[in-house]
Structure 1
Amino acid sequence: MPTLWLVCLLLVLATAGFVMGRARALASAGGDVRTLHSLPNYYGFNVALTSLVPALAVLAVWLLAQPIIVDTRVSKLIPADMVPEGSTIGLVMSDVRRVAAGLDLAVDTGLLRAPEAAALSANERDVRSLLGEVGVALGADVRPEVLAAAQRSRELNHAGRLLMTVLVTGLALAGLGWAYVRTNKEFRARNVVERGVLVLLIVAASLAILTTIGIVLSMLFETSNFFRLHDWKDFFFGSTWAPNFRGDSELSILPLLWGTLYISFIALLVSVPIGLFAAIYLSEYAGKATRALAKPLLEILAGIPTIVYGLFALLTVGPTLAQVFGKGGLLGVEWMAGATSVLTAGVVMGIMLIPFVSSLSDDIINAVPQSMRDGSLGLGATRSETVRQVVLPAALPGIVGAILLAASRAIGETMIVVMGAGAIAKFSLNPLDTMTTITTRIVSQLTGDTDFASPETLVAFALGLTLFVLTLGLNVLALYIVRKYREQYE
């Protein structure tokens, strides 16, 4: 049974359990709600949750574990001589999964019957032609060992799905029956349901923490594998980024880190003054009607997808800068070779960050007590003097925190840099040169059918871990500044 149908079946059983549990509770009370310990709906929710939650939990665990178990068992069928030297079995298993998916699709579309798929061999039929008819592309010939492994994978997956359907459905029915039998007017349904919901809330809150821990651990493990293959001194202290999948790569993070920080610095030069001045105007000078119109319009910038900003950099900002600084431009000197440059990406990224700075700064400025403004005005200061000498100093810690949060957002940006800054890793102070950043190199190193056992691919995890530590440090620093000094002005 497809997973979607199974989930729908569980929802139907839970709905039926709600109706049955509620009806049984009312029947046990003779129709008098006042004699029930809890409201009737609590009895229905108890039956529904007892039927639904354990079954969904088992389903989720099964869907995560089955592919791992199947791949582990199928990989034992792959001979060692099929794994290319210096590579891993993962590349061969990718072909196995594609062949298995192609056979399933051929059966679903009627090109192949299930018995034929189980008995298919590379000598009896042109497997590549069959898979081509269903749109499955392979990079090499289908060897008999790969086909046998794909057939075994199909068998294990089908058996696993059947067992999963039986087990999950049986668990849901068992939970429904057990909760239904326990339902009576003396049963404390409200207490049970509230404890169950509390457990679900704790699990939901823990998922975010566990996901973060999982991300960090996965990057740590792959980064440790990278440093076993590549010298850490070259990564942290080298001066050249030159990946070469044939060996002899120079994989230093410093040129990428320089490009990342340089582009982010230019973005902050654009976003901080504009965003801060907009926040001061909206909070201190604008009327209610102007503020109600201007602030939502300004915050629309935050909702624009970054790919749109990237297109804006590539098609508008870059060509405009090239007309001014390029060959035959308005200045008559070729300072800019093309439309991509640090300045192009920095300007567009700064436009994207304006609502981050303005919204956070506006909220922080509005949090300054009105009594401080009244006291300054009462002493004879003008409105501008009050803003400069009272409001901004009081709000400065929060504004600094907003700027640091915007900086961490700029450091992690990818699409604008890919389309606006170029792809050259180097050290340069010229903002009209093309450069690249850590995020773009991560995408580049993981793009394509590459071997995850090579340092040229594993370096992406070392770059990601470094970027994670950098942005985490900025976020922690911003929160520290805001929390340490905010209480002085409450």
Structure 2
Amino acid sequence: MPTTWLILAIAALAALGFVAGRARAMTSAGGDARRLHSLPAYYGWNVALTVLTPALGLFVLWMLVQPFLVDRHVTGLIPDSAIGQGSSRGLVMSDVRRVAEGLSVLEARGADADDIAAMTPEALQDEMAAVGVALGTPMTPAVKAAAEAYRAETDGWRTWMGVAVLAAALGGLALSWRMTDKDFRARNTVERGILFMLLGAALVAILTTLGIVLSMLFETANFFEAYPWQKFFLGTNWAPDFRGNSELAILPLLWGTLYISLIALLVAVPIGLFAAIYLSEYATKRVRTLAKPAIEILAGIPTIVYGLFALITVGPMLRDWLAQPLGFGNSSSSVMTAGLVMGIMLIPFVSSLSDDIINAVPQSLRDGSYGLGATQSETIKQVIVPAALPGIVGAILLAASRAIGETMIVVLGAGAAAAQFNQGLGEVVNPFQAMTTITVKIVSQLTGDTDFSSPETLVAFALGLTLFVITLGLNVLALWIVRRYREQYE
């Protein structure tokens, strides 16, 4: 059964349960709603939620577990002889999944299943290419057989899933409908169920964060089993090679990330903070009405547009006006290009949040400062900004996290080459030198047909975990600064 039909069937059963539960409650009360323990709608909602909760819970669980079970079974069907030199079981399994998807596309376009089964691997690969399915390795009879088994097993699991989910929905409908009576405490049951739903929603973010961290930890552990951690953290060269003998040191990427982020913050923080102070303390209502939305428009521009702006306008301008005349280089892709454009992108993050927190400072603090004879500038410097410091630090932290995680602007504005420590300190600190960041290399290492057992691919997870630790450190540092200044000014 298609997934859409299954969800619609569950929704229809829930709607039917709502009507049937409400009607049964009214019937048990002789049509007099005053004899019911709860309002009539609660009885309907009790039945509807009892239909939806087990059915959707089983559906989500099934969708999470099924791919692992199918992959594990089909992977065992691939003989070792089908794995060529330079390939791996993971890469072959990727082709199996692509072929299985291609078979579904061919049948959806009217191809006969028997004709497809009779095709040779070479002919089937040509058909796959015709429908846009590209394979990383030439198709073999083993890959074709595994793809057919993968598709058949997936269809079988999907059929059983439909049966199980509908059975759970019907079971919930029958059970809750039978329990419905005028004395049944429907309101208490429904509110308790909604409470658990809200608790589950609150746990989603926590469990998602935990899942992200654990997934990176496990893959990072696999990476350090294949590559020494000393070379990763202490090495000075980034030169991945999927044929072997890779140098996967993080220091060149970390330096590029911090260097570009620092320039971006040097641009965004002063401009954004001064703009926030002007809009909240000096600007007239008319100016504020026009200027604030104009600044916030910057936050809505896609990062790819900023990247194109860096590539076409800012990069050549910096090269022609500064880099070449000063003898710093001839490339339009540089740390300064990406940093300036990223800083422009971050201005609304600092400005809007700082403006909101400054406006939230109580007017009584301003009045007290003016009453003591302070000028407006002295009040802003000595009263308002210290009082708003926690929010300002939060805005700067948000901007820093956004800068560290940016990818598109770096690709188009700073290039994809890692910093070369062997070229000397002058080249490493040259702001007009092309560099790249951790996020760019995470994308590049996971792009295309990758073998998830090779260190060249697993290094992406180690890079991601390092980035996570850096962001966590920024949060801890910001919390320490906020607590210190709160103690001083409260």
Q: Answer whether TM exceeds 0.5 for this pair.
A: yes
1:64 matches 2:64: yes
- The answer for the alignment partner of 2:120 in structure 1 is 122
Structure 2 CA distance for partners of 1:480 and 1:10, relative to 1, 3 Å: farther
Structure 2 CA distance for partners of 1:19 and 1:487, relative to 1, 3 Å: farther
1:315 CA drift (Å): 1.7
TM-align CA RMSD: 2.0
1:230 matches 2:220: no
1:300 CA drift (Å): 2.2
CA contact (8 A) 2:414 2:434 kept: yes
1:326 CA drift (Å): 5.1
- The answer for the alignment partner of 2:197 in structure 1 is 200
- The answer for the alignment partner of 1:82 in structure 2 is 82
CA contact (8 A) 2:55 2:168 kept: yes
Task: Say which of 331, 335, 341 aligns to 1:342.
Answer: 335
How far apart in 2 are the matches of 1:301 and 1:189? Answer: 51
Structure 2 CA distance for partners of 1:397 and 1:207, relative to 1, 3 Å: closer
Structure 2 CA distance for partners of 1:138 and 1:424, relative to 1, 3 Å: closer
TM-score by length of 2: 0.93
- The answer for the alignment partner of 2:405 in structure 1 is 412
- The answer for the alignment partner of 1:151 in structure 2 is 148
1:386 matches 2:369: no
1:313 CA drift (Å): 1.1
Task: Say which of 181, 185, 188 aligns to 2:185.
Answer: 188
1:275 matches 2:268: no
How far apart in 1 are the matches of 2:19 and 2:165? Answer: 21
- The answer for the alignment partner of 2:315 in structure 1 is 318
How far apart in 2 are the matches of 1:227 and 1:85? Answer: 24
Q: Which amino acid aligns with 1:453?
A: S
1:483 CA drift (Å): 5.2
Q: Which amino acid aligns with 2:279?
A: L
Q: Following superposition of structure 1 onto structure 2, how do residues 346-361 of structure 1 map, counting pairs within 5 Å?
A: 346-361=339-354
Q: Which amino acid aligns with 1:205?
A: A
How far apart in 2 are the matches of 1:83 and 1:49? Answer: 49
Q: Could you say what secondary structure the match of 1:472 adopts?
A: helix
Superimposed CA distance per residue, residues 147-177 of structure 1 (whole angstroms, 9 cap, x where no aligned partner): 2111211221111111111111121112112
1:367 matches 2:360: yes
Note the residue ranges of structure 1 that are not aligned, 5 or more in a row: none
CA contact (8 A) 2:92 2:137 kept: no
Give the length in aligned residue pairs: 483
CA contact (8 A) 1:408 1:475 kept: no
Structure 2 CA distance for partners of 1:87 and 1:139, relative to 1, 3 Å: closer
Task: Say which of 210, 213, 216 aligns to 1:213.
Answer: 210
CA contact (8 A) 2:136 2:449 kept: no
CA contact (8 A) 1:325 1:336 kept: no
How far apart in 2 are the matches of 1:133 and 1:421? Answer: 37
Percent of pairs with identical residues: 66
1:240 matches 2:237: yes
Q: Following superposition of structure 1 onto structure 2, how do residues 97-176 of structure 1 map, counting pairs within 5 Å?
A: 97-113=97-113, 115-117=114-116, 119-120=117-118, 122=120, 126-176=123-173
- The answer for the alignment partner of 1:31 in structure 2 is 31
Structure 2 CA distance for partners of 1:404 and 1:98, relative to 1, 3 Å: closer
1:121 CA drift (Å): 5.9
Q: Could you say what secondary structure the match of 1:126 adopts?
A: helix
1:314 CA drift (Å): 1.3
CA contact (8 A) 2:401 2:471 kept: yes
TM-score by length of 1: 0.93
1:232 CA drift (Å): 1.2
How far apart in 2 are the matches of 1:133 and 1:396? Answer: 60
Structure 2 CA distance for partners of 1:395 and 1:100, relative to 1, 3 Å: closer
CA contact (8 A) 1:401 1:481 kept: no
1:257 matches 2:254: yes
Superimposed CA distance per residue, residues 95-120 of structure 1 (whole angstroms, 9 cap, x where no aligned partner): 2112222222222211223x455x53
Note the residue ranges of structure 2 that are not aligned, 5 or more in a row: 422-427
How far apart in 2 are the matches of 1:481 and 1:351? Answer: 26
- The answer for the alignment partner of 1:94 in structure 2 is 94
